[in-house]
Amino acid sequence: MKIKSTGVAKWVALAVVPVSLAVLVAKKGQQRKAEAATKALLNEFSSICMGKPNVIEELISQGADVNAHLAKDGATPLHMALDYDYPQCGYESKFSRQQAAEFLLDHGAHINARDGLGVTCLSYAIFNGDVPCVRLLLQRGADVNAKGSKYSFPPLIGAEGRMGEITHSTNAFHPELTASDVAFIERMREIIHLLKAAGARE
């Protein structure tokens, strides 16, 4: 026996379609908003470097992916924070690299993220001889024995190599180490000590 649809059933069926469509449209709108926020986060990262974390916080609230990767080199915002040379870029920043990195970590940045060449955030901090950032990353759980890649070494080997690079950088045009070189070497010694204390292996 075939049961005919009632008027109520037809009304419900018709009502569900626009509701479902509205949900899909809303989700699509949210997705586009999040994609736009992510793009802005990567392209306008100088906002955080210039002491405007509220701008980044607003983008994150709009759904920006704090772990998105730049198309050109695969760097994440955390990589950029650790590699940014604020004075050289002409920014009078209220944020240090450490503060910028801490802000991003507090908002969900992956501490062991790798860029397009497989280089970790910890390796960025080590390369720059940034003791406060290395200390911060180790305290937050960075992998002190992360495997190297084609373009990078494990943390301890990388630190020792970086110190050796500066130590033996003298030549005919650069006959002796500058005060800046000596200060950098001292920072690298401290970084090597921090890495070993955290269990780093060669």
Residue of 200, 202, 162, 156 whose CA lies nearest to 184: 162
Alpha-carbon span 172 to 160, nearest angstrom: 24
Model pTM above 0.75: yes
What is the spatial distance between Cα 148 and Cα 119, in angstroms, rounded to a whole number?
Answer: 8
* Nearest residue to 125 via CA among 150, 104, 94: 104
At 29, the amino acid letter reads G
Work out the burial of residue 152: count CB atoms within 10 Å of its CB; fewer than 13 is exposed, 13-18 middle, 19 or more buried. Answer: buried
At residue 43, the pLDDT reads 75
Q: Is 5 helix (H, G, I), strand (E, B) or coil?
A: coil
Q: Cα separations (Å) of 47 from 32, 66, 100, 146?
A: 22, 14, 10, 30
Q: Phi and psi for 68 in degrees, rounded to 5? A: -70, 155
- Say how many CA atoms lie within 13 Å of 14 toward its Cβ: 7
Instruction: State which residues of the chain have pLDDT below 50.
Output: 1, 3, 11, 14, 88-90
For tokens 């045009």, name the residue.
173
Do 51 and 91 meet the contact criterion of CB atoms below 8 Å apart?
no
Structural domains in the chain, CATH included, are 66-197 (1.25.40.20)
Long-range interactions of 22-30: CB distance < 8 A, separation 24+: 30/63
pLDDT at 156: 96
Q: DSSP letter for 68, please.
A: -
pLDDT at 3: 46
